[in-house]
Structure 1
């Protein structure tokens, strides 16, 4: 499957490398690559990846029935699917489609305090429920907004190197006209 390099790729690596990183919420419009970027990163960076998609599998909206502590949530997930593996220090829990169960944001504080598992949430149209998500997890999460490809990411997708992308971007920033060769090449 073709994967387009995105700026979020480097961001996710840096987030994981932070010694005291908080749970991460990746928000943005539908179909911009949130889930794909997170899953690609997770598979490369973690021994175990537990994916909970609140839209595709609405049964998981019940995981907070017994409370918001990681032990209760993990116990409920394991009851629903005993194949999911929770290895302390080596597991990413990925709550996808957060907008379908914004209540899970309350658990982010407890996952941060517990510290055994990394957590990333992703969702679209979060503006509707984001006040609730924000009030439930203030101070215990990091936010990242992913948009459609920007100009630099578009150039990467077209196969241009970082140096060419930087050169083109500098043309635009400095309002420097392109020469005939550049015009022919990039048109």
Structure 2
């Protein structure tokens, strides 16, 4: 299956400022496969070392900081060949190996001729620990679940993916493309972007296998909860994780601790929630009060929404049956459109550097699903899991903040169009939001503001 992240890896390889690479991503998102495939395509060979399968390799990093000696020991122990500039060295499952992570400093300073990539399933948690870390000595790369575009490529719909890439005007999508893209998106809501789940559909068209694959992945995550150093946090992480569908099923999706259990308090669950965030399993979206810059300046840290890392995992954890795929728009609208919001958030986080926020007013109630920072503009975004939409909250946001709002964006099942300053983007175009917003702003004559 084609993964577009390979392009980012080639940039890393060719950069004159290349440093050892830290690859982050949730379990079973395809980190190991991507690194091996990248090595196969762009290097003479891959030298792969798994520090979970071969725990004895860790000792080589405990006894010396000499890079040449470390590599010599690894080559002798594994019978693998390492040639500077010609070999991609992959250190896998390094989350429990602080000495391996710390050694990247010495590789960067003393042996930049070696191309090294480190990966691990809970690496985000390991990097958050207050231990010795090679600050400024490594590059980072985030590998996320497969996008809808990657799903199209895996499903043999290269023509549809290529068509989406060619869009350079805000005008309606012809039915010949709109209708099949709409149908494919419904299937993507079923599979999500986890490679194993996608493979079960694209190769076997087996819905039961999709269900089994997603259940297995969720089970693996839930077993990982037990790896928290404080065993008392395990049940809290588990309850919090299982509460996410209930949190998103409400009209007001603000995260409420009492949904986890009656009488629950923030101080009891903050550490458990942070563990899930650092593990990459959930996205935490804070509420903000105004559209000023930077986007973090107006955060209300007491109010936030929580989404899962993948829309397919959310569907499976919510126990929504794939049969909804055949029932019109039901899959999009099921439990207040939470699947669509989760899907759009996934797409936005890959395109914009700052994590999206959301805006809400309590009395009277208004809520804009997401706020994104694009260059020096804050853009409000609503997600509507239907057609013939109205955007009451976007209208209110415009009334309150006036000239600060250059463009309003709505994702829905309506066609692509620009109505005054309201850009409607079909849900299946979420991967192209940044490009379409840029086209719309240019069409309106509202290029990015300056500092």
Query: What's the TM-score once normalised by structure 1's chain length?
Result: 0.84
Unaligned runs of 5+ in 1: none
Unaligned runs of 5+ in 2: 184-451
Paired residues of 1:24 and 1:143 also in contact (CA < 8 A): yes
Q: Deviations over 1:118-150 (max 9, x none)?
A: 100111122321134984211110111111111
Tell me which residue corresponds to 1:185: 180
Mapped to 1, the partners of 2:61 and 2:80 lie a distance apart of 17
1:1-187 equivalent positions in 2, closer than 5 A = 4-81=1-78, 83-113=79-109, 114-132=111-129, 135-158=132-155, 159-161=157-159, 162-166=161-165, 179-186=174-181, 187=183
Mapped to 1, the partners of 2:45 and 2:177 lie a distance apart of 47
Question: Does the C-alpha gap of structure 1 residues 127 and 20 become closer, same or farther in structure 2, counting only changes over 3 Å?
Answer: closer
Paired residues of 2:84 and 2:114 also in contact (CA < 8 A): yes
Q: Which moved more, 1:14-23 or 1:98-107?
A: 98-107
3-state SS of paired residue (1:60): helix
Structure 1 residue 47 displacement after superposition:
2.0
Mapped to 2, the partners of 1:118 and 1:134 lie a distance apart of 24
Paired residues of 1:99 and 1:129 also in contact (CA < 8 A): yes
Mapped to 2, the partners of 1:160 and 1:107 lie a distance apart of 42
Mapped to 2, the partners of 1:118 and 1:151 lie a distance apart of 31
Q: Post-superposition, which runs of at least 4 consecutive aligned residues in structure 1 deviate over 2 A? A: 131-135, 158-163, 165-168, 176-186
Q: Which moved more, 1:117-126 or 1:153-162?
A: 153-162
Q: Which of structures 1 and 2 has the larger relative contact order (alpha carbons within 8 angstroms, sep 6+)?
A: 1
Q: Is the radius of gyration larger for structure 1 or structure 2?
A: 2
Mapped to 2, the partners of 1:70 and 1:20 lie a distance apart of 19
Paired residues of 1:22 and 1:112 also in contact (CA < 8 A): yes
Query: What's the TM-score once normalised by structure 2's chain length?
Result: 0.37
3-state SS of paired residue (1:129): helix
Q: Deviations over 1:29-83 (max 9, x none)?
A: 01111110110111222223211101122121112122223112113213423x2
Report the aligned-residue RMSD. 2.4
Paired residues of 1:66 and 1:72 also in contact (CA < 8 A): no
Report how many residues are paired. 179
Paired residues of 1:103 and 1:133 also in contact (CA < 8 A): no
